Amino acid sequence: MNKKPFIIGIAGGSGSGKTFFLNCFLHHFKQDEVTLVSQDDYYIPAGDMTQEENKLYNFDLPSTIDSQQFLKDIKQLLAGEVVYKKEYNFNNPLAIVKILEIKSAPIIIVEGLFILHFKEIAALLDHMIFVDADEQVALDRRVKRDGMERGYPEEDVLYKWHNHVMPAYKEYLLPYKDSCHKIVVNNKNEPDEIIAITEDISNNLRNRILIDID
């Protein structure tokens, strides 16, 4: 790979619909055109915890992320190398952990809550996208997701939201919102709208990046 990959940072708070946006965005590229590296796979293992310990443990702090390994792997992808990484199991001891093979590509997407807060990572980003949603919309999505996918009681979800999630969002992500190149407001849960937005962004980026590479 002769040309330096173009790095896109996608950040958004919990419940912003960032994952759906990301999946739609990736869909507009061929497999060998884009690769994804996610902050979620760099949590420092917290060990086995009871339900109460899990409720009180604050996963929404930069210190819970192995930011140096995250940075090292991004640089490795920039150099055209392959990264092998254990998939994070969301502290579920019953989960089957996969080994991720992350190949470099002309476009590298880096996503996560703290990617703009980690200065060395932020400095590598060529284009920054902020996915936003109203607080109540985001909370409703979080309650639904954590209940259905992870089996968390609503009381625990609300505790984390008010004591961990929102304070972290306001301190470590929101201050960087206005410095992003694109802000995507995602309140309506309408797939067609997000698909149209991601298609527009991806077409613009394709014209800027992939035509030069081709």
Query: Is 65 within the bounds of a domain?
Result: yes
Could you tell me if 83 and 73 are in contact, meaning their C-beta atoms sit under 8 angstroms apart? yes
pLDDT for res 151: 76
Distance (Å, rounded) from C-alpha 191 to C-alpha 132?
A: 15
Query: Is 187 within the bounds of a domain?
Result: yes
Distance (Å, rounded) from C-alpha 187 to C-alpha 185?
A: 6
Distance (Å, rounded) from C-alpha 6 to C-alpha 113?
A: 20
Query: Is 34 within the bounds of a domain?
Result: yes
Question: Is 60 exceeded by the pLDDT of residue 119?
Answer: yes
What secondary structure letter does DSSP report for 62?
G
pLDDT in tens, 19-33: 999 999 999 999 899
Could you tell me if 179 and 123 are in contact, meaning their C-beta atoms sit under 8 angstroms apart? no
What CATH number is given to the structural domain containing 142?
A: 3.40.50.300
pTM: 0.89
Query: Is 15 within the bounds of a domain?
Result: yes
| Non-local CB neighbours of 119 within 8 Å, separated by 6+ positions | none
| Mean of pLDDT over the chain | 90
Query: Is 135 within the bounds of a domain?
Result: yes
pLDDT for res 205: 84
Number of domains, the chain: 1
Q: Which residue range(s) make up the domain with 51?
A: 6-213
Query: What percentage of the chain reaches a pLDDT higher than 70?
Result: 93
pLDDT in tens, 152-201: 889 999 999 999 999 999 999 999 999 999 999 999 888 898 999 999 99
Question: Is 70 exceeded by the pLDDT of residue 133?
Answer: yes
pLDDT in tens, 86-98: 887 665 666 677 8
Rg of the chain in Å (alpha carbons): 17
